[in-house]
Homo-oligomer: A and B are copies of this chain.
Amino acid sequence: MPTYTPPTKDMQFILHDVLEVSAMQVPGYDELDRDFTAAVLEEAGKIASDVLAPLNVVGDRQGCTLENGVVRTPDGFKEAFDTLREGGWTALDCDPEYGGQGLPYLISTAVGEMFSSANMAFNMYPGLTHGAYNTIQAHGSEAQKRTYLPKMVTCEWGGTMNLTEPHCGTDLGLIRTKAEPAEDGTYRISGQKIWISAGEHDMCENIIHLVLAKLPDAPEGTKGISLFIVPKFLVNEDGSLGARNALSCGGLEQKMGIHGNATCVMNYDGATGFLVGEPHKGMRAMFTMMNEARLGVGLQGYAQGEVAYQNALGFALDRLQGRDVTGTQAPDKPADPIIVHPDVRRNLMDQKAFVEGARAFTFWGASLLDAGHRAGDAQAEQMVSLMTPVIKGFLTDKGFETTVLAQQTLGGSGFTREWGLEQFVRDARITMIYEGTNGIQALDLVGRKLAQNGGKAIMAFFEMIKGYIKENSGQDPAFDAQFLDPLKAASKDLQAAGMYFMQNGMKNPNNALSGSYDFMHLFGHVCLGLMWARMARAARKALDSGTTDTAFHEAKIATGRHYMTRHLPMTATHLARIEAGGDTVMALAPEQFASAAG
């Protein structure tokens, strides 16, 4: 069975040596000193490795079951949820006014990574509740907040997001779920929603559904969508649970992975709903919480990569097979551990370089989100908004790839259920799809974010990279050559790609949109290149100032160099693909795609 070890040392390094969080001008960050974050991470790490990780396989094997409208979660899930609730882990970054601990989002990001690595399917239950909490907190009325938030902060009540219907996922303008106004100011919600994660289960006494629906007078398309609170049990004036609402789980989806999470068909049969915010403004409400939700999915992607890497590494250190080509390493054993073989190392280094870079990138993104929300830093908010599709799309593509690489490290064992690597692959796969497929992320990036406010955000991004290079060059020739030069080249590729879009996207949007996916990846590489430069610089600083943990800091620099020499060159290929435009992509008539058959 796979194991999980919390990467607390690496997290501390990123928080304090790289981001230097306690010096950041963000309210609440001054309290984030080394000792405090160490204590939080250690406690969270224990829950992750001791409580959640052992249930990961259980969840996969048992899955969820639906009987007479009741969904049962796998053995041990409820007890684990109680442990989370009791420790206050569901309330970390929630508003103290509703019982939250008021910590920065950055801290709940670090904790969330550990919980996701340990048991992604499980962590979706509190994760979705948190998403619903955010939405009500941002858009609900005072009364709604007082009614629902305290119980959602503690996860006594769960929360869900109901967007998709059988005939529409991405194109929500097509939704058919109806909301009929009742005389008491509430609404009767009718329709079917599908793929509702945590839509029904036995771990919370109530579930607060957020449902997109159309009012009778709704304009066509996405401009006619409203958002409703539709609780499983109606809530009485005194906060106690009232009548069962007219909604039910009509089925559970059979899927490739995340079996421990109940993916529900939800039927609303005239259920009582409460409008959130203004009529027809439901999409806007959804969008304001999307940045955080998408960051959270990017995190899931590399978190699965992390735990897969850990288990691949363990195997590579133990498994004896073949001899080191440069000379026997373990003469007392029948063979050397496979970590001596260059291609096994290449594989492990690829995994390590991605996961650590992704962690730094995500933590940085979380800190920008905090700066936006807590310090009202508009530029930070703009920057993180630009990078959100990159964090979601790039980190989940690469996170999935990392689980596949890790599985490969185990050879045949990687394909067996016994070793558990295959579960990480199956679970990670969903992150590329939900919360907007990665193709949609790329479209959001190139079709919306790039051009927003006259391209202000991307300009600021380039300025930031330029500023970083300028500020840090000329002090250490090795650092300049190994990190700044490749970063400069990659950033130049990104600029050239942006330029191509400007010059050719106007003429024909297909020229830009055919390259959107490559642009998202190109952007991701530049961001990870930046993070590796920052990490290498911080590691060098630690070494120069006499750290005793030289092995860790030297490994950082070597791993960073691995990324710069072996992954960053991908930017050239992405640029070549982008500059190929829409020509071949759009060349065929639909019927020509199938021409191979017949």
Contacts and interface: CB of A to CB of B under 8 A. Distances in A.
A314 to B, nearest CB: 8
A577 B569 contact: yes
A566 B555 contact: no
B513 A342 contact: yes
A341 interface: yes
A255 interface: yes
A390 to B, nearest CB: 15
A75 to B, nearest CB: 19
Given A565-B584, A572-B572, A8 B597 contact: yes
28 contacts: A5-B594, A5-B598, A6-B597, A7-B596, A9-B595, A10-B595, A170-B322, A171-B335, A174-B321, A174-B334, A310-B597, A313-B593, A313-B594, A325-B509, A325-B513, A326-B509, A342-B514, A346-B517, A408-B433, A411-B437, A412-B433, A415-B433, A551-B595, A562-B585, A565-B580, A565-B583, A566-B576, A569-B572
Interface in A535-582: 551-552, 554-555, 558-559, 561-562, 565-566, 569-570, 572-573, 576-577, 580, 582
A347 B439 CA distance: 9
Interface of A: 5-10, 164, 167-171, 174, 195, 253-257, 306, 310, 313, 317, 320-322, 325-326, 334-335, 337, 339, 341-349, 352, 355-356, 400, 404, 407-408, 411-412, 414-418, 422, 425-426, 429-430, 432-434, 437-439, 442-443, 447, 508-510, 513-514, 516-517, 551-552, 554-555, 558-559, 561-562, 565-566, 569-570, 572-573, 576-577, 580, 582-598
A169 to B, nearest CB: 6
**Oligomeric state, in number of copies?**
2
Given A256-B417, A412-B434, A167 B558 contact: no
B596 A9 contact: yes
Contact of A422 (B9, B255, B306): B255
A516 B437 CA distance: 33
A587 B352 CA distance: 13
A513 B561 CA distance: 18
B254 A551 contact: no
B322 A171 contact: yes
Contacts of A577: 565-566, 569
A356 B596 contact: yes
A481 B295 CA distance: 43
B343 A516 contact: yes
Contacts of A9: 595-598
B408 A439 contact: yes
Given A9-B595, A408-B439, A585-B349, A254 B418 contact: yes
A586 B344 CA distance: 10
A451 to B, nearest CB: 13
A348 B593 contact: yes
A7 to B, nearest CB: 4
Nearest to A513: B342
A517 B342 CA distance: 10
A585 to B, nearest CB: 5
B426 A408 contact: no
Given A417-B256, A558-B587, A590-B337, A411 B566 contact: no
